[in-house]
Amino acid sequence: MKAPNFWWTAPSTPSALLAPAALVYGAVAARNLDRGRRADLGVPVLCIGNLTVGGAGKTPTAMALGKAAIALGRKPGFVSRGYRRRGRSPLLVDPQAQDAAATGDEPQLLAGIAPTAVGANRKKAAERLISECGCDLVIMDDGFQSAQLAMDYALIAVDARRGLGNWRVFPAGPLRAPLKTQLVHASAILLIGKGEAGSAVASESARSNHTTYRAHLAPIDADRFDGMRVLAFAGIADPQKFVETLKACGAKVERSLGFPDHHPYDANDIARLSQEAWGHGLQLVTTAKDAVRLRSGPEASRMFLKECEVLDVALAFEAEDTAKSIIRQTLANFHRRRYGV
């Protein structure tokens, strides 16, 4: 499913018609956030969440903070639900033995940084990281609204270009729960990228006495795309953002195709993309997350991936010491929660 366009425009008739359903959904979501039975793991927990349905750069943020934790001498482990994966029981991710169908696509990327566990029950997944991998810090990629774990720091990622859309609760808008309720449980806001929509979120963050950090997604090895005529395709929350990133690298994006987030490419998709690229003499380019899914597919999918260039990105904080500062604050909050000082 793709997010409806009216979510990202000014409140309109569809959002008004869905307001009663949003009121019910919001009440349930708020109750879960306020009264959820959050398990204490006995180690610090840092959550990377977002306020809206869909992606906002959580996984690159989690990866950057995982690297910062390692640099500070910690042994972090990532917990993810493993969206659209096969099975629900907790699983330690082994990219050499498991594909994206078994783990989800994003956990494959996280596992390249630190031990990663997936599971609908985040408590059980985290316990495996602690008992089997010796992790002394848990970083949750998403799970802010699940209220399953006691969190010591909740960093909320916001795409500055899209912001909070129409600021309405699902299904009238993209918010996962009423904004004020979510902000009560947040520690800080992270605006990723640039955009006027992000400025409005920063203002709301300041009114709530939250720190607002800023960062951007920096392309890795961007120079190789300069001047390249490409067909860009992506199955992520905001494919247009991928297109804009490619253009910023100097690529000439002559055609682009967007698919729903976590889209499993089938033979028809691959044939269509190949035909369009060959027919117009364009280079296929996709994201690292899409590449994980293609690599986990049948042989035809893997062969198709060899025709593609992959644009990878890394999160870069505006202030260099931000990531380490967040890790240190997480540890301090845990100590205060655990020992009262």
Query: Would the annotation count 13 as a binding residue?
Result: no
Whether the CB-CB separation of 326 and 153 falls below 8 Å is answered with yes
Query: Would the annotation count 87 as a binding residue?
Result: no
Query: Would the annotation count 54 as a binding residue?
Result: yes
Cis peptide bond prior to 171, omega within 30° of 0 = yes
Radius of gyration for the alpha carbons in the chain, expressed in angstroms and rounded = 20
Among residues 97, 124, 121, the alpha carbon closest in space to that of 108 is found at: 97
Three-state DSSP class for 258? strand
CA 45 to chain CA centroid, nearest Å: 17
Tracing tokens 């020992």 back to the chain, one arrives at 339
Q: What is the DSSP string of 182-237?
A: HHHT-SEEEEES--HHHHHHHHHHHHTT-EEEEEEEEETTGGGGTT-EEEEEE-SS
Query: Would the annotation count 330 as a binding residue?
Result: no
Query: Would the annotation count 243 as a binding residue?
Result: no
Query: Would the annotation count 245 as a binding residue?
Result: no
Binding-site annotation: residue ranges for ATP = 52-59
Known binding residues? 52-59
